[in-house]
């Protein structure tokens, strides 16, 4: 392990597409989504403990989730849990972590990753990350992992790369956000597009330079705290800093604008686990292609995903292609092929029934 390698795990999102399982006060990264005895956050932490020392791993989360992080990752010190007073998307989140870590180690190489992704091929993941870290340490480059697409998925962003030889690291040509089905199929057929994983690797000085050049208002906000990071004054400074930050993603703010972006082609068994369909796709299924997590009796039911409390017997008959999800005070039954309506359900539940249901 290289002591200059640091990992930033982003764990502040709500995961609204996983409603009613993922809720504002208890988002999906803190749940055992796969039913294996570990939460998504714990799985991500374990994954990166093979990449760098535990003391070099930092979690960025909302202040409301501080206790959840401490309970699930007791090996972390308070200084390794970065608390955002309000969500401002990924650019301020990454800026905060980058400026803080730069004060600890100005030579740090950073891996930035979401807390709610699945990686099924750990050894391949280790190899890809180490390849990217070596490249980032040697040159002023910003690197992302690109996932070889297996289908024309319209829920992912796509990266077009320049195909020049057999090297795993390719220069990025274009970014495209969530295309329609026809365009996604064209991308798949072309052979020079990959899914954007949202996992980034760079040297801390490279990303700080990119912030100064392309998001100068963000860099100015966080540079003001240079003397306060890793001190008792950090928390108060961050509350003030975030009050001045606009909501902007790292992709839009930096990655789509710079000319030193590269992608590492990756086959790591990855899923962003952003939807019920993505969970269904990667999960083990019974002989009728059902995914079951709960105490369930099924009759003439197939191609369903069922996630219900283990202390409640659920009996289903005559269903095909449905999501049946119950958590806390909400039961949702929705066609799997129409899962995009989940966001509408959450919005309606909040408006018509109140905050207690989201």
pLDDT in tens, 248-296: 999 999 999 999 999 999 999 999 888 899 899 999 999 999 999 999 9
Which of 271, 304, 338 is the last residue in one of the domains? 271
The answer to whether residues 118 and 60 belong to one domain is yes
Using the structure block, give the residue that is written with the tokens 């109140």.
354
152 in a structural domain: yes
* Count of structural domains within the chain: 2
pLDDT at residue 275, as a whole number: 87
CATH of the domain at 91: 3.90.550.10
Asked whether 91 and 8 are in contact (CB, 8 A), the reply is: no
Strands (E), 11-139: 57-62, 81-84, 109-114, 118-119
- The DSSP bridge partners found for residue 271 are 118
Across 191-205, average pLDDT = 95
Instruction: With cut-offs at 50, 70 and 90, classify the pLDDT of residue 165.
Output: confident
Across 109-135, average pLDDT = 96
The answer to whether residues 290 and 253 belong to one domain is no
The answer to whether residues 256 and 288 belong to one domain is no
Which of 271, 291, 313 is the last residue in one of the domains? 271
Across 26-51, average pLDDT = 94
Instruction: With cut-offs at 50, 70 and 90, classify the pLDDT of residue 10.
Output: very high
d(CA 25, CA 358): 8
The answer to whether residues 24 and 166 belong to one domain is yes
Residue length of the chain? 358
The answer to whether residues 252 and 347 belong to one domain is no
The answer to whether residues 11 and 85 belong to one domain is yes
Q: Looking at the predicted structure, is the pLDDT value of residue 1 above 70?
A: no
The answer to whether residues 207 and 336 belong to one domain is no
Asked whether 349 and 357 are in contact (CB, 8 A), the reply is: yes
The answer to whether residues 304 and 259 belong to one domain is no
pLDDT at residue 14, as a whole number: 86
Q: Looking at the predicted structure, is the pLDDT value of residue 113 above 70?
A: yes
Strands 5-10 and 57-62, how do they pair? parallel
The answer to whether residues 107 and 168 belong to one domain is yes
d(CA 47, CA 180): 33
Using the structure block, give the residue that is written with the tokens 């391949």.
124
- State the DSSP code for 337: G
Using the structure block, give the residue that is written with the tokens 């796969």.
34
358 in a structural domain: no
Which of 240, 271, 302 is the last residue in one of the domains? 271
More confident residue, 208 or 36: 208
Write down the number of H helices and E strands in the chain.
11, 17
pLDDT at residue 340, as a whole number: 87
276 in a structural domain: no
pLDDT at residue 154, as a whole number: 80
The answer to whether residues 97 and 46 belong to one domain is yes
Across 159-169, average pLDDT = 86
Domain membership of residue 173 as a residue range: 5-271
Share of the chain above pLDDT 70, in %: 100
91 in a structural domain: yes
Q: Minimal CA–CA distance to 61: which of 13, 110, 7, 113? A: 13
Q: Mind spelling out the 3-state secondary structure of 150-202? A: CCCCCCCCEEEECCCCCCCEEEEEEEECCCCHHHHHHHHHHCCEEEEEEEEEE
């Amino acid at each position: 392990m290289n002591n200059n390698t640091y990992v930033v795990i982003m764990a502040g999102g709500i995961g609204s597409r996983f409603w009613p399982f993922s809720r504002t006060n208890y988002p999906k990264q803190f749940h055992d989504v796969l039913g294996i005895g570990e939460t998504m956050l714990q799985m991500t932490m374990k994954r990166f403990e093979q990449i760098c020392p535990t003391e070099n791993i930092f979690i960025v989360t909302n202040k409301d989730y501080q206790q959840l992080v401490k309970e699930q990752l007791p090996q972390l010190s308070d200084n390794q849990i970065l608390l955002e007073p309000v969500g401002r998307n990924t650019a301020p989140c990454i800026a905060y972590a980058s400026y803080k870590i730069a004060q600890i180690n100005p030579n740090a190489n950073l891996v930035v990753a979401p807390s709610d992704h699945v990686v099924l091929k750990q050894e391949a993941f280790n190899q890809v990350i180490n390849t990217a870290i070596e490249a980032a340490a040697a040159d002023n480059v910003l690197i992302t992992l690109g996932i070889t697409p297996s289908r024309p998925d319209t829920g992912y962003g796509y990266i077009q790369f320049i195909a020049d030889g057999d090297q795993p690291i390719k220069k990025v040509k274009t970014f495209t956000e969530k295309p329609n089905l026809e365009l996604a199929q064209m991308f798949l057929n072309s052979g020079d597009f990959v899914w954007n994983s949202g996992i980034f690797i760079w040297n801390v000085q490279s990303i700080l330079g990119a912030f100064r050049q392309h998001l100068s208002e963000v860099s100015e906000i966080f540079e003001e705290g240079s003397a306060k990071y890793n001190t008792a004054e950090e928390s108060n400074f961050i509350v003030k800093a975030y009050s001045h930050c606009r909501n902007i993603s790292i992709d839009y703010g930096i990655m789509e604008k710079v000319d030193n972006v590269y992608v590492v082609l990756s086959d790591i068994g990855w899923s962003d686990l952003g939807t019920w369909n993505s969970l269904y796709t990667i999960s083990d299924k019974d002989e009728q292609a059902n995914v079951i997590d709960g105490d369930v009796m099924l009759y003439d039911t197939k191609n369903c995903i069922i996630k219900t409390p283990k202390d409640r017997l659920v009996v289903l008959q005559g269903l095909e292609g449905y999501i049946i999800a119950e958590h806390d005070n909400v039961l949702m039954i929705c066609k799997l092929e129409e899962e995009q309506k989940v966001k509408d359900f959450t919005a309606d539940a909040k408006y018509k029934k109140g905050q207690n249901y989201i």
